[in-house]
Amino acid sequence: MSDDKPPLAFLLDSDFRNKYPHQLVARFPHVARKIEAMWGDAGATADYFTELMIPSRPNRQGFPPEVAAEIMSLSIAYDRIGHLLVAEEAPVRAPLAAYQWDQERLVKEIENLGFAFSREGFAKAAEAGNHQVCAMFVQAGFDVDTRDAREWTPLTIAAFHGREQLALMLLECGADLFAKDRGGYTPLHWAAFSGYPVVVKLLLDRGVPANVLSNAGISPLLQAAARGHLAVVNQLLDRQANPNLDANDGSTPLLKAVANGHLAVIQVLLNAGAHRQVTLADGTTLDDIVAKTKDLRIRAIFG
């Protein structure tokens, strides 16, 4: 390989250019060079990926989320792209199947880290935000969209708990952005509900529409407004979330914000054009809810 090429440049000249670890090469070139140097030895490469994802030294600082996600994505894809040659002088490789990670070894490592090798164990690892173990579950053969009893995928769990690094890794591994649970709620709904702007941005940037609805007609904006998550409300509005989308019961983001006393959110929604004339399916109006609030500032807004 010529000196003017960056580490792992052969990926850029292949059909797998989307797996090229740009952040890793730019920020940790020595790691990228080491991966490249052992690329032809699948056993050594697999061991090194494991070392990178699960450091043996307890005081070792982990990689930044975007770099860790690239490493995990590359490691999981290795069984498909490991046949690529680094250079013309690279040794002839044995059949690709001989270089797949050994499932038995992965299962043992997962269990040694305290997680059962099961659907429940995968969900537990996701709830803990353990992106290393979740990557191992995927590498060992679990579907990245494996569902728990709630019909939550690991990405849904990551969104609900604000596990940014895990969410990024799962997306790099092809997790379904639009996976819906039993109520029709997507990962974006749960990230908005819990108030995690970084995860919300990650999902929006990947193409999830801000106005996606649950089975009950509830939007992410309604959930964020009901919980008083001002930063997320602003994010969603910036991405063309409709402040006047009403749920099946007639509730709107503004009505929920008023009912729960979120003054700053109320002001932002009104500035975004939220309608004041709102009536629930049971006949209760927004004015009725305003009249019952003890917050004089909210009463003053609606005068």
| pLDDT by position in tens, the chain (length 303) | 445 788 888 888 888 888 888 988 898 888 988 888 888 888 788 778 877 876 555 455 678 878 887 887 888 778 778 777 544 444 434 443 433 446 788 888 899 999 999 999 999 999 999 988 998 898 888 999 999 989 999 999 999 999 998 999 899 888 999 999 999 999 999 999 999 999 999 999 999 999 999 999 999 999 999 999 999 999 999 999 999 999 999 999 999 999 999 999 999 999 999 999 999 999 999 999 999 999 999 999 998
Closest among 229, 149, 148 to 188, alpha carbons compared: 229
Instruction: Please give the Cα distance from 192 to 256 (Å, whole number).
Output: 14
249: left (phi over 0), alpha (psi -120 to 50) or beta: alpha
Predicted confidence at residue 102, as pLDDT, reads 65
Query: To which H or E segment does residue 227 belong?
Result: helix 220-227
Predicted confidence at residue 56, as pLDDT, reads 54
Instruction: Please give the Cα distance from 80 to 38 (Å, whole number).
Output: 16
Instruction: Please give the Cα distance from 283 to 302 (Å, whole number).
Output: 19
Whole-angstrom CA distances from 54 to 24, 37, 131, 135, 294 are 17, 20, 10, 10, 53
Predicted confidence at residue 152, as pLDDT, reads 97
Predicted confidence at residue 1, as pLDDT, reads 46
Tokens of 274: 């939220």
Quick check: pTM over 0.85? no
Whole-angstrom CA distances from 241 to 180, 221, 234, 253 are 19, 7, 9, 11
Predicted confidence at residue 54, as pLDDT, reads 67
CB distance 269 to 300 below 8 Å: no
Give the chain's length.
Answer: 303
Tokens of 78: 């290795």
Tokens of 169: 């890794």
Predicted confidence at residue 303, as pLDDT, reads 82
3 state SS of 111: helix
The CA angle 8-12-16, to the nearest 5 degrees, is 100
